[in-house]
Structure 1
Amino acid sequence: MDHIAFGDSPISRCQFYRRVCDLPANIDPPHLGRIIMTAEHVWALMLPAHLGQAVKIRMQHQGSDIGPILSHPRSNRWTYLIRPDIPDDVLLFAEMFRLNVSVVRTGGTVALPSPVDQGEQFRRWIEPPRCTFRPSGLVVVDAIRACSEHCRPVRRKDAHA
């Protein structure tokens, strides 16, 4: 799905996302062919790519199904599409904020890969959606917590400090 196939267009891709994957996708704006998903019955967790990769590996080693994951290479972030089972808990959101993890809840927007994206510099699937499965948001949050201590990027000391 990452490569433009014969007949692949924003309309056909959007229909695939809707019909096969049950993702509430729309083309917005139509003249650019960008595909977005408004979070409703599907939410998302957006996190730094290094943490996202560690979470994926951990979930796979634990035998958890992964579900759709997309990459935003220019911002070096990954997005996990999840079931909307994360409670409305200020402490949980603060914890995720400290880890640079955004919870995209009902009404939020996620840009999905489109065949008109220029190569893979904007968005690409790490794990493409193949059906309606999405992992529990709480399972992904638990994996984020477990990986966060081991995945922090090494920070260089400022030479002028």
Structure 2
Amino acid sequence: MTQTSPLASAYAETPRSRCEFYRRVCSLPTVIDPATGRITMRAGFVGAVMMPTDLAQRVKIRLDLRGVAPLPIIGHPRAHMWTFLVRSDIRPIGDPADEARLWKARVVVIGDGDIALPSPAPDALMVRTWVSPAISKFRPSGSVVLECARECLLRPSPQ
């Protein structure tokens, strides 16, 4: 019979402990779905910008070069998308061509609704994971993330 040491079980991560970490350390208003262990938060003070992985990688490089860090980024491996958690400071896009460019590139701004976060609950489908984990209260400006996405879309990616 194998026994788990009290020390090991004290550090076992659960959806509840992860949710508490998100709340206390990262100031994210998270809740847990008791049936699934899924951790979500309501967009509002915190928003998100979602985009395809290839574009998101280029955006992350631009943000890194600007010294914007740490970047909380959720990966969606099956969908080949990344979601940047951001401050909700995004203003409406005025230029129709700019809006069309972002729409065509599948860049989505989430300013309302639920945002799902990675959970330690077993996820056989690998639906979401951290590319760059939330480790503090810092979130980049949503406007700056969109600005970097626009810059990347105006310049073709190096092949």
TM-score normalized with structure 2 length? 0.83
- Identity score, percent: 44
Following superposition, the deviation at residue 68 of structure 1 comes to 0.4
Secondary structure of 2:19's counterpart equals helix
2:122 and 2:78 map into 1 onto residues whose CA distance is 13
Question: 2:44 maps to which residue?
Answer: 40
* Counterpart selection for 2:26 from 13, 16, 21: 21
Secondary structure of 1:55's counterpart equals helix
Residues 51-73 of structure 1 show CA distances to partners (whole Å, capped at 9, x for unaligned) of 11111111112222242001000
Question: 1:131 maps to which residue?
Answer: 136
* Counterpart selection for 1:71 from 72, 75, 80: 75
* Structure whose CA Rg is larger: 2
1:39 and 1:65 map into 2 onto residues whose CA distance is 21
Question: 1:96 maps to which residue?
Answer: 102
1:71 and 1:83 map into 2 onto residues whose CA distance is 18
TM-score normalized with structure 1 length? 0.82
Contact preservation (8 Å) 1:48, 1:76: yes
In structure 2, stretches of 5+ residues that fail to align are 1-9
Contact preservation (8 Å) 1:113, 1:125: yes
* RMSD across aligned positions (CA): 2.1
Q: Which amino acid aligns with 1:81?
A: L
Q: Which amino acid aligns with 1:23?
A: L
Aligned residues: 147
In structure 1, stretches of 5+ residues that fail to align are 155-161
Q: Which amino acid aligns with 2:44?
A: E
* Counterpart selection for 1:150 from 118, 138, 156: 156
Residues 1-57 of structure 1 show CA distances to partners (whole Å, capped at 9, x for unaligned) of xxxx942101111111111101111112x1210111110110000000011111111
